[in-house]
Amino acid sequence: MTTQTPRRLLLVDDDEAFCAAMARALARRGVEVTVAHDAAAAEAAADGHDAALVDLRLGAESGLHVVAALRARHPRMRIVVLTGYASIATAVEAIKLGAVQYLTKPAEPDEVLRAFARTEPDPDVPPPARPMSVRRLEREHIERVLAEHGGNISAAARALGMHRRTLQRKLRKRPVKQ
């Protein structure tokens, strides 16, 4: 495992207060940070950066699109996805698209830097102490089916055997922690 810290990091998050705090904390640790608040700004500012910290939700946009675009233009860039809306489905997609790690908010600056430094998988990561709750399992299943249908809510609702408005209501709720 390497302990290399990113020199120039692109921070992509629509939360301006979070960006300001994280950028200051990373700058104190010797990282030059450029902030972008949406996908277009991220793609425009990406040149010259060796790492990117990308929020999963950028307003109405998906951070997964940013991960794919950054990976396509900068194949050597190390990308970490950070989100307050974690799910197994989005974690799997982020890794498939080229992210090296997937972190949940709140994340400390040192935790973010450790995520960039890890180059090898860790087989000693312990499994969760408790199984997921039924509500969390339902949310994970909904996220997976929605991803399988390309984000199409009507198609996902049909596949799940529920009304489209019911699915929309469930998706508006905050994901369950456990």
* Tokens 């469930």 sit on residue: 170
What percentage of residues in the chain have a pLDDT greater than 90?
40
Higher pLDDT, 117 or 66: 66
pTM > 0.85: yes or no: no
**Segment 106-129 mean pLDDT:** 80
**Segment 41-62 mean pLDDT:** 89
Indicate if 26 and 113 belong to the same structural domain.
Answer: yes
Indicate if 144 and 107 belong to the same structural domain.
Answer: no
In a domain, 3, yes or no: no
Distance between CA atoms of residues 33 and 49, nearest Å: 9
Q: 39 lies in which domain range?
A: 8-117
Strand, helix or coil at 80? strand
Residue 3: pLDDT over 60: no
Indicate if 103 and 42 belong to the same structural domain.
Answer: yes
